[in-house]
Amino acid sequence: MRAFTVERYGSKDGVRAGDVPEPEVGADDVLVRIQAASVNPLDRMIRDGEMKTILPYKVPFVLGNDLAGVVVEVGAAVTRFAVGDEVFARPDKNRIGTFAELIAVHQDDVAIKPATLTMEEAASLPLVALTSWQALVERAHIQPGQKVLIHAGSGGLGTIAIQLAKQLGAYVATTTSTPNVDLVKRLGADVVVDYKKQAFEAVLRDYDVVLDSLGGETLMKSLDVLKPGGKVISVAGPPDATFGRELGANPVIRLVMSALSLRIRRAARRRNVTYSFLFMKASGDQLRELTPLIETGKIRPVVDTVFPFESAREALEYVEAGRPKAGKVVVRMT
């Protein structure tokens, strides 16, 4: 089958299109013929080797973390799906590879595609929708009336997180650039900080939760907008020891993670708030929880550009260059 594989870490030229063996289908797996896959910043980080400590993939491997497609084969123990089902998924971190014609995915990580969406729209959702759910529902336990700041509101994660936070009853602030102010307002943001004109830390106060996807100094400044007892949850900041334990990392790796996050954790403690790093997990059950919100239009995907499969490498470069105006970039299979 055709696929885009990482042949060596750390180079755009290390990704190439070629033929690879079709995946083996385990007893609990569904084999999906992929019709669309979306591009995430995580793909670039994996390609460049930035995630090797957490995700030590052995080259060559197929890249890609989101999919929508049709089930063409089911394993002997599969009970939830049948051949012909239209599905969407974020495969488990150890079984990525959606920039391909076929993928075998554990049935627990798959859900029926929302009927109201195209394949391209559905493929744009799993990773960012699951990240939003796990940050705002599982970890932050957002309650109606709480104040939530979501950074980069026009990005792939931000567009979905704003909508989910509003469905949870939160008062939502977000940061974005001037051209996307109207977009994030339409998605439900109550307060929009145009970062080209204002410093968010100067205008926002007493927030319960910050969802950070930028890291660096933005993450540090986010501590200042939280009220005592508040939480900053980051998908871009340094990993912490708790994540190391969840990952099953050895004690040395957990110690390294703890050291990497020491500065932000100390700064959080001084302000009587908490910091945590989130690396989302695959979950078909959570996608099923989200599906009614999607099918009723309460959560709407935002797709920036669709590339043909042959241009998957160009799609990666488009995202890496920061060219998307809003939402996700999708690769359509032929």
292 is a domain residue: no
Please, which pLDDT band fits residue 101 given cuts at 50, 70 and 90?
Answer: very high
Please, which pLDDT band fits residue 257 given cuts at 50, 70 and 90?
Answer: confident
Mean pLDDT on 42-47? 95
Confirm if 35 and 58 have CB atoms less than 8 A apart.
no
Rounded to two decimals, the pTM is 0.97
324 is a domain residue: yes
Mean pLDDT on 308-319? 95
Point out the least confidently predicted range of 24-33, 51-60, 75-84. Answer: 51-60
In sequence order, which residues have a C-beta less than 8 Å from that of residue 297 and are 6 or more positions away? 116
Q: Which helix (H) or strand (E) holds 247?
A: helix 241-247
143 is a domain residue: yes
Residues 203 and 65 in one domain: no
DSSP of 161-175? HHHHHHHTT-EEEEE
326, two tokens: 């809003």
Q: Which amino acid is at 31?
A: L
299, two tokens: 């959560």
Residues 235 and 176 in one domain: yes
Mean pLDDT on 131-148? 98
Mean pLDDT on 120-134? 98
Residues 194 and 331: their CA atoms lie apart, in Å, by 30
CB count within 10 Å of CB 223 equals 20
Residues 38 and 66: their CA atoms lie apart, in Å, by 6
Domain span at residue 23 reads: 2-124+301-332
Examine the pLDDT at 277 and tell me if it is beyond 80.
Answer: yes
Residues 74 and 131 in one domain: no
What pLDDT was estimated at residue 254? 85
291 is a domain residue: no
Residues 169 and 103 in one domain: no
Please, which pLDDT band fits residue 4 given cuts at 50, 70 and 90?
Answer: very high
Confirm if 72 and 35 have CB atoms less than 8 A apart.
no
Mean pLDDT on 81-97? 98
What is the phi/psi pair of residue 104, to 5°? -100, 125
101 is a domain residue: yes
Please, which pLDDT band fits residue 92 given cuts at 50, 70 and 90?
Answer: very high
In sequence order, which residues have a C-beta less than 8 Å from that of residue 59 and are 6 or more positions away? 6, 7, 8, 9
Residues 83 and 69 in one domain: yes
Residues 322 and 181 in one domain: no
Please, which pLDDT band fits residue 105 given cuts at 50, 70 and 90?
Answer: very high
In the β-sheet with 171-176, what is the strand arrangement from edge to edge?
Answer: 191-194, 171-176, 147-150, 207-212, 226-234, 274-277
Examine the pLDDT at 334 and tell me if it is beyond 80.
Answer: no
What pLDDT was estimated at residue 253? 84
293 is a domain residue: no
Residues 133 and 204 in one domain: yes
Residues 319 and 199 in one domain: no
Examine the pLDDT at 133 and tell me if it is beyond 90.
Answer: yes
Q: What is the CATH number of the domain that holds 67?
A: 3.90.180.10
Residues 144 and 103 in one domain: no
Q: Among 119, 36, 109, 113, which residue's Cα sits nearest to residue 78?
A: 109
Q: Which helix (H) or strand (E) holds 181?
A: helix 181-187
284 is a domain residue: no
Task: Give pLDDT tens digits for 203-255.
Answer: 999 999 999 999 999 999 999 999 999 999 999 999 988 888 888 888 888 88
Distances (CA, A) of 41 to 31, 159, 326: 26, 15, 14
Confirm if 90 and 282 have CB atoms less than 8 A apart.
yes
Q: What is the CATH number of the domain that holds 155?
A: 3.40.50.720
Residues 67 and 108 in one domain: yes
Instruction: State the average pLDDT for the chain.
Output: 96
66 is a domain residue: yes
Residues 150 and 271 in one domain: yes
Point out the least confidently predicted range of 12-16, 133-137, 233-237, 286-290. Answer: 12-16
What pLDDT was estimated at residue 53? 82
What pLDDT was estimated at residue 319? 94
DSSP state of 100: B
Distances (CA, A) of 20 to 35, 70, 202: 18, 20, 52
Mean pLDDT on 174-181? 97
The number of domains in the chain is 2
Residues 113 and 153 in one domain: no
Q: Among 297, 79, 93, 288, which residue's Cα sits nearest to residue 187?
A: 297
Mean pLDDT on 87-105? 98
Q: Among 42, 94, 38, which residue's Cα sits nearest to residue 68?
A: 38
